[in-house]
């Protein structure tokens, strides 16, 4: 029992470290590599469902290692693939430990909220220069928290924000002030990241969460509560934007970033033109061209997870990634509204993961630590559902036998 408690605490600490990735390898990689290795050595079981996730990840990695054979100069490509392999195994690890004990989901999300609040505070402090050396937490006049890039910092905050929204809607009134304060800090962090992908992800996730809960909950009083709090949140968001527009530095960047198509998106060899060219060229490269090669040819990286899968992991990796994404979203959707103790965590994980797949059309997500964590969370809930069905089938067999 003591060993399980210690292990769960280490998982929570590892999740907390995922919010602090200023340099690589980050403390998250070092700690989680030790934790994952130790846990599997001690005999963490791998069920058929967890094995299916592992199979998707291994096929994806085979495609990646095959793409290395197409490179003239290997350079740092093996390190890049090594990071992908670690992240792939981390998703399998999260899935396995969640299936082993669903209560770890609460630990994971609480640690994620703590990390999000801390890194958002660093980003806010950096943006407004609230303490000496705070400029390290900004990039290009945008908050990036304890991350290397605002475009990763912003999306990292989406899942804990959604978890807080769900907790506010369903939790006790006594905890509302603390949760609302944490949500406010995270929301300001997302706003100051000036990441269009993060803004879109945040809005999409919140609206989808409210819609799903409205469909799931049949109580008229609860539906009224959802509508009231949603309207309250909308008013808060509008007021926050109005206040932000009063600050010249914020308003100029905010108005600039709200343009759907930036200068580097359109035009010849802009983001979307590179997507078109990249997909056409990939049709003639079944093994891919290797990681990080696309940027050396066209001046910028792919900024599209589907194209990234084709160029860095070949046709095999591309098919594996499509299969992984489609299977995850389909199974998660099937079990989304079932009355289970882990259903709220599945709802949050599935909605945010769906949002990540959508923003993946304009951004690379292949090395986002929290993206792989989301895969592990959703697959862990899927594994819990499968285990629940097997247990119920065994009970029915014993009942029939009697």
E strand or H helix at 73, and its extent? none
Q: Report the domain count for the chain.
A: 2
C-alpha to C-alpha distance for 313 and 321, rounded to whole angstroms = 9
∠ Cα 397 398 402 (to 5°)? 115
Residue with tokens 């002030």: 177
Residue with tokens 């999300």: 109
Q: What are the helix (H) ranges across 104-219? A: 104-127, 150-156, 158-170, 176-193, 196-216
Range of the domain at 246: 105-121+147-264
Give the tokens for residue 169: 């809607």
* Secondary structure letter of residue 139 according to DSSP: E
Statement to judge: residues 34 and 91 lie in one domain = yes
Instruction: Name the region of 371 (left: φ>0; alpha: ψ -120 to 50; beta: rest).
Output: alpha
Statement to judge: residues 153 and 96 lie in one domain = no
C-alpha to C-alpha distance for 78 and 303, rounded to whole angstroms = 21
Evaluate whether 323 touches 56 at the Cβ level (below 8 Å): yes
Statement to judge: residues 389 and 374 lie in one domain = yes
Q: Residue 119: what pLDDT? A: 97
C-alpha to C-alpha distance for 230 and 243, rounded to whole angstroms = 20
Q: Residue 257: what pLDDT? A: 58
- Please indicate, yes or no, if residue 132 is contained in any of the structural domains: no
Q: Residue 138: what pLDDT? A: 93
Statement to judge: residues 280 and 175 lie in one domain = no
Statement to judge: residues 289 and 229 lie in one domain = no
Statement to judge: residues 173 and 245 lie in one domain = yes
User: CB burial class (10 A; 0-12, 13-18, 19+) of residue 237?
Assistant: middle
Statement to judge: residues 258 and 291 lie in one domain = no
* Secondary structure letter of residue 135 according to DSSP: G
pTM of full prediction above 0.95: no
Evaluate whether 296 touches 274 at the Cβ level (below 8 Å): no
Statement to judge: residues 399 and 281 lie in one domain = yes
> Strand 142-143 vs strand 138-139: parallel, antiparallel, or unpaired?
antiparallel
Distance from first CA to last CA of the chain, Å, rounded?
A: 35
How confident is the prediction along the chain (402 residues), in pLDDT tens digits per residue?
A: 667 778 889 999 999 999 998 877 788 988 999 999 888 888 888 999 999 999 999 999 999 999 999 988 888 889 899 999 999 999 999 999 999 999 999 999 999 999 999 999 999 999 988 988 888 999 988 999 999 999 999 999 999 999 999 998 887 878 888 998 999 899 999 989 988 889 999 999 998 998 888 888 777 777 787 777 777 777 776 776 676 666 666 666 666 655 555 555 555 556 677 888 888 888 888 999 999 888 888 778 888 999 999 999 999 999 999 999 999 999 999 999 999 999 999 999 999 999 999 999 988 898 899 999 999 999 999 999 999 998 887 777 766 666
């Amino acid at each position: 029992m003591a060993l399980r408690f210690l292990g769960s605490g280490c998982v929570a600490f590892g999740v907390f470290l995922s919010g602090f990735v200023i340099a690589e390898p980050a403390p998250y990689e070092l700690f989680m590599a030790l934790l994952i290795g130790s846990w599997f050595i001690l005999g963490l079981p791998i069920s058929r469902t967890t094995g299916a996730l592992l199979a998707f990840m291994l096929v994806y990695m085979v495609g990646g290692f095959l793409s290395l054979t197409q490179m003239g100069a290997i350079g740092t490509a093996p390190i890049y693939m090594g990071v992908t392999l670690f992240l792939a195994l981390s998703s399998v690890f999260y899935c396995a430990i969640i299936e082993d004990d669903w209560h770890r989901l609460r630990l994971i999300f609480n640690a994620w909220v703590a990390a999000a609040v801390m890194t958002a505070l660093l980003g806010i402090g950096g943006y407004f220069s609230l303490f000496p050396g705070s400029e390290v937490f900004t990039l290009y006049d945008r908050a990036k928290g304890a991350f290397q890039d605002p475009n990763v910092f912003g999306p990292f905050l989406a899942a804990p924000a959604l978890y807080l929204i769900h907790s506010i809607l369903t939790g006790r009134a006594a905890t509302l002030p603390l949760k609302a304060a944490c949500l406010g800090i995270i929301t300001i962090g997302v706003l100051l990241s000036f990441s269009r992908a993060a803004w879109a992800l945040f809005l999409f996730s919140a609206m989808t969460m409210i819609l799903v809960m409205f469909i799931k909950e049949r109580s008229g009083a609860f539906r009224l509560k959802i509508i009231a709090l949603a309207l309250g949140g909308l008013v808060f968001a509008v007021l926050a934007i109005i206040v932000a527009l009063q600050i010249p530095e914020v308003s100029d960047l905010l108005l600039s970033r709200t343009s759907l198509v930036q200068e580097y998106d359109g035009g010849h060899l802009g983001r979307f033109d590179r997507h078109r060219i990249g997909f056409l060229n990939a049709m003639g490269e079944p093994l891919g061209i290797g990681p990080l090669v696309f940027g050396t040819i066209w001046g910028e990286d792919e900024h599209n997870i589907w194209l990234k899968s084709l160029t860095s992991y070949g046709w095999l990796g591309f098919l594996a990634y499509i299969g992984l994404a489609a299977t995850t979203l389909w199974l998660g959707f099937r079990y989304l509204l079932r009355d289970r103790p882990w259903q709220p965590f599945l709802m949050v994980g599935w909605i945010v993961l769906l949002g990540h797949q959508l923003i993946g059309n304009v951004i690379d997500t292949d090395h986002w630590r929290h993206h792989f964590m989301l895969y592990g969370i959703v697959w862990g809930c899927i594994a819990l559902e499968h285990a629940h069905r097997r247990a119920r089938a065994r009970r029915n067999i014993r009942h029939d036998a009697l």
